Structure 1
C-alpha cells in the first residue's frame, strides 16, 4: 500500500507545517555574518608612510585611487577620487564614480593603490 500524508505513522503528515520564522532566519544570518568578521589590522610605520605617499600622489595628480578600509569587522573597498585630504576631523573625502561622496577615517585605512 502506498503511503500518503494521512497514513498513520508517516512523517508526511507534518511536512506542510515546516517553516522558519523571519526572526529565526535573521538570527541565523547574523550568526554566520559574525563568524566572518576579522580583527582590525595593525599597520607599522612603513605601511603608513606608503599609504600617505599614495594618497598624496593621488591628490596631486587627481587620479582615481582604491582604498581598502576596516569597517565593523570587515575590510571594505572604495574606488574614487580624493577631494579632501587631512581635514580637521581626520577623514578622507572620496567621490565615487556614481557621484556620491564618502568619508573614511585615516585610522581605518588598511591599504591604498592608484588606479
Structure 2
C-alpha cells in the first residue's frame, strides 16, 4: 500500500492569498518602487529640442523616456507633430498608434 503523496504544506500556502491580498501586494510594490521625476537643466532641454527637430526633418525614429505617475516609461517611434499650444508631442509608434506626451513629462530622448 502506497502512502498518499500530495504537495504537503505548499498546497496550503498557495491557497492563502486571496485576490484582495494580491491587489494590496501589487499596490504596495508600485508605491515602493515609485521614482522622483528628474529635473532637466537648460542645456539638456536645448539638446532635446535639436534632436527632436532633426528627427522630424529626416523622419528618423527616436527612443523616448517619460515620467508618468512615479514611473519611467519607454516609447519608440516617430514624432509626427509638435503642438506648441498644447505643449505636447504627438508620437507615432511602430504599430501606427499615436501617443500624446506633454513636454514636461519627457526625461530623455535618444536616437535609435
Q: Which range, TM-score by smaller chain? A: 0.7 to 0.9
Tell me the TM-score normalized by structure 1: 0.83
TM-score (norm 2): 0.85
Extract structure 1 runs of 4+ deviating beyond 6 A. none
SS at match of 2:51: helix
- In the TM superposition, what is the alpha-carbon distance from 1:30 to its structure 2 partner? 0.8
| Number of the residue aligned with 2:105 | 108
Q: What's the counterpart of residue 86 of structure 1?
A: 83
Q: CA RMSD in A?
A: 2.4
Larger radius of gyration: 1
Q: Alignment length, in residue pairs?
A: 106
Which runs of 5 or more structure 1 residues have no equivalent in the other structure? 5-11
Q: Which runs of 5+ in 2 are unaligned?
A: none
Aligned to 1:51: 48
1:62 pairs with one of 53, 59, 64: 59
